[in-house]
């Protein structure tokens, strides 16, 4: 197939798997102060609170199962090998567990631990805690391997290249409030891609898309893939 499809996913695609979104009425940011749990400064001030936040989310993600939307995207990739790239802002591994292979986690992964001193990465234990030491360099600088506000998202070179080459850009279940991901629709459109939003309701960047379908991801994503 000549089509190259870049699919950006956000918390909304995992909502029907029971994982909370951030900015919906009952979302994580209604219960937690994002400055306390999702910034380098918050981690420096209270690492125990930040570990507690991510330990709980890691446990929830491990207990969750992929839903019909994750499975539909995995089917799309199987049907069009080499044509589909998923760029996810999500730190869960539900795309991979549904069978998707070409997945970039631009905001990191709950399943990984990162040493802020030497950059080593290893599978995160169920419960991380302040004072844990790095298995590679022994520094007590262990953190969740996630991208906080003010930090540089991962895989940006590969994402920029894919957006420039895309024929179709699809955003699924993301509010369009967090950059640089919220700017991808404009980057892809400027490079000539058609753009489609699949979301429960119009995002902050809805007017940038050529087309949209609204409803629960578990319904509208399989409908779109079919
Ligand atoms: C459903 C559904 C269902 C519900 N079916 N849909 C001023 C202007 C512009 C930018 C900035 C600025 N000031 C600061 C910045 C930069 C900052 C930023 O964007 N801030 C904004 C808040 C303004 N960004 C950064 O700091 C980033 N780094 C950076 O910019 O580096 C410099 C740089 C510049 C240029 C190029 C490259 C680099 C880093 C951002 C890191 C975000 N980190 C978090 C937490 C870490 C991971 C984690 O703990 O999980 O990532 S914040 C949080 O938001 C998380 C998410 O990945 C991210 C996006 O949220 P998402 O996925 O959109 O979720 P929600 O809840 O917002 O939306 C859910 C959607 O689903 C809604 O639309 C619902 O309707 C829908 N939905 N149920 C379908 N069943």
Is pLDDT of 2 > 90?
no
**Which of 125, 146, 167 lies at the terminal end of a domain, its last residue?**
146
- How far apart are alpha carbons 9 and 59 in whole angstroms? 21
Is pLDDT of 105 > 90?
yes
Same domain (yes/no): 9, 121: no
Same domain (yes/no): 218, 159: yes
Same domain (yes/no): 35, 99: no
Same domain (yes/no): 135, 35: yes
Domain count for the chain, please give it: 2
Same domain (yes/no): 35, 56: yes
Q: How confident is the model at residue 223 (pLDDT cuts 50, 70, 90)?
A: very high
- How far apart are alpha carbons 22 and 9 in whole angstroms? 14
Same domain (yes/no): 197, 168: yes
Same domain (yes/no): 192, 134: no
pLDDT of 27-65, one tens digit each?
A: 999 999 999 999 999 999 999 999 999 999 999 999 999
Give Cβ neighbours of residue 142 (< 8 Å, ≥ 6 apart). Answer: 113, 114, 115, 116, 128, 132, 133, 134
Q: Would you say the CB of residue 25 lies under 6 angstroms from ligand 1? A: no
Return binding residues: 10-29, 54, 57, 89-92, 115, 118, 134, 137, 173-175, 199-201, 217
SS3 of 113, please? strand
Determine the structural domain holding residue 30 and report its residue range: 26-63+110-146
pLDDT of 148-203, one tens digit each?
A: 999 999 999 999 999 999 999 999 999 999 999 999 999 999 999 999 999 999 99
Among 51, 70, 95, 107, the one annotated catalytic: 107
């Amino acid at each position: 197939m000549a089509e190259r499809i870049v699919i950006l996913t956000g918390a909304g695609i995992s909502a029907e798997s029971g994982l909370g979104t951030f900015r919906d009425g009952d979302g994580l940011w209604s219960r937690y102060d994002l400055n306390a749990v999702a910034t380098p400064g918050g981690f420096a001030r209270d690492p125990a609170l930040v570990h507690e936040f991510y330990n709980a989310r890691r446990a929830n993600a491990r207990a969750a199962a992929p839903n019909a939307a994750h499975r539909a995207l995995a089917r799309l990739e199987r049907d069009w090998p080499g044509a589909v790239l998923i760029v996810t802002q999500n730190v869960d591994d539900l795309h991979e567990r549904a069978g998707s292979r070409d997945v970039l986690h631009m905001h990191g992964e709950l399943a990984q631990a990162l040493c802020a001193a030497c950059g080593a990465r290893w599978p995160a234990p169920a419960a991380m805690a302040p004072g844990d030491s790095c298995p590679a360099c022994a520094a007590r600088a262990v953190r969740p391997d996630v991208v906080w506000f003010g930090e540089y998202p991962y895989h940006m070179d590969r994402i920029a290249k894919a957006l420039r080459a895309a024929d179709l850009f699809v955003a699924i279940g993301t509010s369009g409030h967090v950059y640089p991901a919220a700017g991808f629709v404009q980057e892809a459109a400027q490079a000539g891609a058609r753009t489609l939003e699949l979301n429960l309701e119009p995002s902050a960047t809805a007017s940038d898309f050529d087309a949209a379908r609204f409803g629960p991801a578990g319904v509208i994503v399989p409908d779109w893939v079919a």
